[in-house]
A = this chain, B = another copy of it.
């Protein structure tokens, strides 16, 4: 191999999302040093030898948030970030999801920000965050990814509130239950939650049948024909 600076630095960052207070929020930390001092950035850091990209982002996230509470982690995309020898680096972005009932401890330079109304961002974190949000919205529709946003047990109303916050638009509560049950994504726990102070019928509690990513829908045209093959 030839001298230094013939290879870029390799870094990982993560878009960690959680539904908090009815809105989808992202975990950011405020830079204290130049460059981009004072602006908000995605958590992450450089790759160490011998670790996978997965290991790397988990290690860096551990400094900002309890990694145990990440219910899902997947790769988004990789991008080249600088051109000069000093700032030439390749960044691999991840998407991380935290269930809405958790409130992990975070250091003072770190906080959650709603996706509408982000502060001044460092670098081009904005496009990365958008990509993470889009990936989440897409996968909520054709996978069981909701398990990564929802608590272990929940009523349909609570699940609907989470979906509404993540998707950004209203959805019919009766359809959500029927569709997710029909696909075998949800199952009834048998328990019920007593109603709130304003009364109402007790809500039946549900949980996700499997809590790891699974595709629940196959498109029609490409589905194998009934009889043959």
Contacts and interface: CB of A to CB of B under 8 A. Distances in A.
Complex copy number for this chain: 2
A85 B49 contact: yes
A118 B35 CA distance: 49
A5 B83 CA distance: 19
A124 interface: no
A10 B90 contact: yes
Query: What class of interface size applies to chain A in its complex with B?
Result: 35 or more
Interface of A: 1, 3-10, 47, 49-53, 75, 77-80, 83, 85-86, 88, 90, 92, 137, 140-142, 163, 167, 169-172, 175-176, 179-180, 217-222, 224-225, 228-229
Most buried by B among A9, A80, A137: A80
Contacts of A172: 225
Nearest to A9: B7
